[in-house]
Amino acid sequence: MTPISIRREAVARACLKRFEGRQMQFGSADCVRLAAHAMHKLNVPVPLLKGVRYRSELGAAKALNAAGFADLAEAMDAMGFARIAPAMAWPGDIVAGRSRDDGPFRYALSVVHEYGAKRTIAFGPNGFCGVGTPDLTNPDDVFAWRVSHG
């Protein structure tokens, strides 16, 4: 194993340690905080979240809109990471897939657990965080970003 792969697998383990089994709670245990934790563990600053506080879905949607983004994929693009095919994703990279139809964010973020995004760490439909298999069947609904580490 290379030092980069060891570090990235440690990032995935750190995300699991912090979030696995936790119930979704806006502002402290949600997909944005999960992705930010992975970035932090890769020594990547997350300036978009500096000073941003929210405790509800409505508060999170207002914060996203106030920052000038239509959805979470736009916010991830603003981070400056290269978009990649999900099949190219490494542990610690970020994947966005369609969220529920009536939700204000359009996408939900997850952290890659296994190479190729075969499994990701995410908050599932049951509201709890865990490792699961993302739906990668429709490439128009799934985006991935290579999180460049510092």
Mean pLDDT within 15-25:
98
Q: Name residue 145's beta-bridge partners.
A: 83, 94
Task: Identify the CATH number of the domain in which residue 16 sits.
Answer: 3.90.1720.10
| pLDDT score, position 126 | 95
Q: Alpha-carbon distance 132 to 110, whole Å?
A: 10
| pLDDT score, position 139 | 87
Q: What is the pLDDT of residues 93-149, one digit of tens each?
A: 999 999 977 778 999 999 999 999 999 999 999 999 999 999 999 888 999 999 986
Report yes or no: 32 and 109 within 8 Å, Cβ to Cβ: yes
Q: What is the pLDDT of residues 25-55, one digit of tens each?
A: 999 999 999 999 999 999 999 999 999 999 9
66 lies in which domain range? 3-146
| pLDDT score, position 150 | 57
User: Structure pTM?
Assistant: 0.95
| pLDDT score, position 102 | 74
Mean pLDDT within 52-73:
96
CB proximity list for 4: less than 8 A, separation 6 or greater: 149
| pLDDT score, position 148 | 86
Q: Alpha-carbon distance 31 to 96, whole Å?
A: 10
| pLDDT score, position 101 | 74
Domain count, the chain: 1
| pLDDT score, position 66 | 95
| pLDDT score, position 87 | 95
